[in-house]
Amino acid sequence: MALKHTILAFLSRQPLSGYDVAKEFAEGFGSCFWKASQQQVYAELTKLEQQGSVTYEAIPQPGRLDKKIYSITDQGQQELLDWLTQPCEPAAIREDLGVMGLAGHLVSSQVVIREIERRRQLHVEMVQHVKKLDEHFSQHLDSLDLKDLYMHLVIRRGIRYQEEWVAWCDEALQAIGQTVKR
C-alpha cells in the first residue's frame, strides 16, 4: 500500500494539487521510482482526505474548476513516519521482455533483435529525461543538505537503472549477432 505513502511523502515536502501530484508521477521526480495514473492519484487523495491523513483548501479560479491544494495532517505525517521506520522489500520484477528469453526460439532472431533495439532507444531517451531532473542537484553536489542529497540519490538510482538497461541491450545485441553469424 505504498501509493498512499508516496503521496504522503510528496505532501510532506509541500502542499500540492491532485494535478501536480499526478504530474510528479508521470514526468517528475516520482517517475524514477513509482508509477501511478491520474485516476489513481485522485481516488487516493479523496480516500486520504476522508481518513484524515490529508486536508485540502479549495482555491477558486476564474473560469476553471476549483483547485484543491492538499496538505498532509499530523495524523498523516505519523502514518508516514511509522511506515518509513519499517524495513521494506525490493520491488517485484515483472518484465515482459524476459518472456522472450523463454520463447524467443519461436520467432525469428530478427524479431528479437528489433525488439531489443526498440527497448534500447526507449531507455536512451529515459536516461536523458532523468538526467535533466538531476541537473540542479548534480551541479551543487558538495553543498547539498541531506534532504536534497536523498533526492539526488533517488534520481541517481533512476539514471543508473536506465543506463544499465542500455548496457544490457548492447551486450545482448552483440551476443545474438555473433551467434547468428556462426
Partner DNA sequence: CGTTTCATGTAACACGTTACATGATTAG
Partner DNA sequence: CTAATCATGTAACGTGTTACATGAAACG
Q: Which of 50, 60, 64, 179 binds DNA (CB under 7 A)?
A: 64
Q: How far apart are CB 128 and a copy of itself at their closest, in Å?
A: 15
Rule CB under 7 A: is residue 7 a binding residue for DNA?
Answer: no
Rule CB under 7 A: is residue 46 a binding residue for DNA?
Answer: yes
| CB distance 88 to 5 below 8 Å | no
Q: Report the chain's C-alpha Rg in angstroms.
A: 21
- The Cα 111–Cα 139 span in angstroms is 42
User: 38-63 burial by CB neighbour count: b if 16+ within 10 A, else e?
Assistant: eeebeebbeebbeeebbbbeeeeeee
Rule CB under 8 A: is residue 125 a binding residue for a copy of itself?
Answer: no
Q: Give the binding range for a copy of itself (CB under 8 A) out of 43-51, 63-71, 127-135, 146-154.
A: 146-154
Q: Which of 60, 64, 74, 96 binds a copy of itself (CB under 8 A)?
A: 96
